Structure 1
Amino acid sequence: MTPPSAIAARLRAAGCVFAEDEARLLTSAARTPDELAAMVERRVRGLPLEHILGWAEFYGLRVQVDPGVFVPRRRTEFLVSQALAVCRPGAIVVDLCCGSGAVGAALSSATPTIELYATDIDSAAVECARRNLSALGGRVFEGDLLDALPAALRGRVDVLVANAPYVPTGAIERMPPEARLHEARLALDGGADGLDVQRRVAAAAPAWLAPGGYLLVETSQAQAAHTMAVFAQNGLTPKVVHSDDLDGTVVIGTGG
C-alpha cells in the first residue's frame, strides 16, 4: 500500500483541504493497493470523497451516499438539532427533499419512537434513502414534495423538515466542482433567487401540518428574511435561528 503521507501529499496538491484525514479514510477503506490507487485517482479528479467511500459521517451516523446523490453537509446537523427540539415521542415526522435520508436517519436514531416518512423526486436518492431508513422504520416515497406522501397524513404531520435546494441558479457555477459536477442539479438549484422550492413547500405545508405543527427549512443567512416572509404569507408564524459554529441557518414556522 502507498503510505498515507504520500497519498496526503498528492491530495493536497489537488486542492483537498483535509488531505491527511482523507488519506487516512481512503487507506482504511481500500482492500487492495490497486483499489486504493483507483480511489485516490478518483478523488484527485474531483469526485466527492463521500461518493468514493460510499458513506458520509452525519450527526454521529455513517450514512450511505450513492454516486450522484446529494452529500449531507455538516451545517445541516443544525437543522436536525432544531427539529429534535420540537420533536416529541410518537410524532409524525416528514423529511422532504430527503436525498440520502440523512436528516431522517438522524431524527429517527435520536427519537426512535417517531413515525418517519421521507420523500424525494430523484429515484437515485429514493433508493439510497430507503437503504438508510428501512432499518429505522422509515418509509420513503418517490415524488414531488408533499404530493408523494400518503393522503392519510394530511393534517397530521407534527414536524415537517426540508433541506430543499436553495442555491440561486446563477450561483451554481460558482460552487465547488465536486458539488456542481457530481451532485444532481435538482438537489442544488433553487431557482432565480434560490427560494422557488421553499415557496412551494411553505404553500403546501399548512394543509399537511397538525394543529401547532412545525415546518423547519434550512436556508442561508442572506435568504432568511425572505424565507420568513414566505412562511408568514402562508399563515405560518416564523422565526429564524442560526449557528455560528456550523454556519447553519434554519427558519421555523409554527402552524395554527
Structure 2
Amino acid sequence: MHVTGPAALVARLRAAGCVFAEDEARLLAGTAATPAALEELTTRRVAGEPLEHLLGTVEFAGLPVAVGPGVFVPRQRTAALAARAVAAARAVPGRRPVAVELCCGCGAVGLALATAVELAELHAADVDPAALPWARRNLGPIGGVVHGGDLYDALPGQLRGRVDVLVANAPYVPTGALGLLPPEARLHEPRTALDGGDDGLDVHRRIAAGAPAWLAPGGLLLVEVGRDQVPVLTAVLARAGLRVRACPPEEDGTTVVTAGRATTPGD
C-alpha cells in the first residue's frame, strides 16, 4: 500500500507528470470507496491511464458523461460542435427535428443536443463495439437509439432523407501525426477514433459522399476538423453538392464546418 495521505498522493501524481495533481488527487480520493481502491486507481493513473476512464465520467457541455476503459474521451473543444448542432436543431421550423450522431463514441454530442433541444428522434452510430455500451448508457435514458456499424450502414433505412441534424466528430488526426499524441490517447483510446488517414480526412470524405441521401431538405451536416484541413474539406463537401460554411476557429485551431442540403431541388 503506497498511498498514505493526501500529500503523498499528490506527490506521486506530480512525479508521474500530472499537471493538475491536486485536483486529480481530490477526484481519485472521492471516487475510491476504500484505501485499497484508491491505491489501485492511483497506480493505474501513474501508469498513464486517462483520469476520465478511472473516474468513470467526464463533464462535457456542462453534463456528466459516462466513459470507461477503451472508449474515446470527448474533448472539451468539441463543445463548440455540440453548440452548433443545438443551434441547427433549434432552427428547424415547425416541428421537432430528427438528429443523428455518427462516430458517436460515448455519445457525448448527442447527449448535449438532446438535453438542449426536444428531438423527434435521436440516433447514434459507431463502428467500435467497445463504444456502444457507453453510448447506450448515456443516450438510452433520453430516448436515443444506438446502432453498431460503419457510418450510414449502421442506420435504419427509414432515416434516409429525414435527418435534420447530422453531426460527426469523426477522427481527423493524420496517420503520420498519431505518434505526436499524448500517451493517454495513443495507448488507451481506440485508433479508429483517432486515425483519419493520410491527411486526416478519410472518414470525412465518406461522410460527405453519403450525406445528401440522408439529410432532409434544409438539413445540416456538422463536423469538427483542424483549421489547416478546412480548405480541403470544403472542396470535398462542395463536390458532394452541399453548401459549405466554416465557422470561426477556436483558440486551438479546431474548426466546426457545416454543410447544408438545399431546401428544394432547385436551390
If the length of structure 1 is used for normalisation, what is the TM-score?
Answer: 0.96
Structure 1 residue aligned with 2:254, among 244, 248, 251? 248
Partner Cα separation in structure 1 for residue 141 and residue 252 of structure 2: 28
CA distance 1:7–1:242, change in 2 (3 Å): farther
Q: How does 1:103-114 map onto structure 2 within 5 Å?
A: 103-114=109-120
**Residues 198-245 of structure 1: per-residue CA shift (max 9 Å, x gap):** 000000000000011000001011111111111111111111113535
How far apart are the structure 2 equivalents of 1:3 and 1:29?
15
Map 1:1-256 → 2, pairs under 5 A:
2-88=4-90, 90-245=96-251, 248-256=254-262
Q: Distance in 2 between matches of 1:3 and 1:156?
A: 56
Higher Rg of the two aligned structures? 2
* RMSD of aligned alpha carbons: 1.3
Q: By how many angstroms is 1:253 displaced? A: 0.4
Structure 2: runs of 5 or more not aligned = 263-267
Q: Runs in 1 of length 4+ with deviation above 2 angstroms?
A: 1-6, 242-248
Contact between 2:98 and 2:119, CA under 8 Å: does it hold in 1? no
Moved more, 238-247 or 175-184: 238-247
List gaps (5 residues or longer) in structure 1.
none
Using the TM superposition, give the Cα deviation of residue 53 of structure 1 relative to its aligned residue in structure 2, in angstroms: 1.0
Q: Which amino acid aligns with 1:41?
A: T
Q: 1:33 to 1:155 in 2, by over 3 A?
A: same
Query: In structure 2, what residue type is equivalent to 1:168?
Result: P
Aligned counterparts of 2:47 and 2:128: Cα–Cα separation in 1: 25
CA contact (8 A) 1:75 1:247 kept: no
Q: Indicate if the aligned counterparts of 1:78 and 1:248 stay in contact, CA closer than 8 A.
A: no
Post-superposition offset of 1:125: 0.5
TM-score by length of 2: 0.92
- Which letter maps to 2:148? E
**Alpha-carbon distance between aligned partners in 1 of 2:141 and 2:14, rounded to the nearest angstrom:** 38
Give the AA of the match of 1:60.
G
SS state of the match for residue 77, structure 1?
helix
**Aligned partner letter, 2:128:** D
Which residue in 1 is equivalent to 2:265? Answer: none
Change (3 A) 1:14 1:230: same
Is contact 1:119-1:141 (8 Å) kept? yes
What is the distance in 1 between the residues matched to 2:228 and 2:245? 15
Using the alignment, how far apart are the partners of 2:96 and 2:49 within structure 1?
Answer: 39
Label 1:180 to 1:3 Cα distance change in 2 as closer, same or farther (>3 A): same
Q: Offset of 1:12 from its aligned partner?
A: 1.5
Distance in 1 separating the partners of 2:204 and 2:14 = 37
1:181-211 deviation digits (Å, cap 9, x = unpaired): 0001111110111000000000000000001
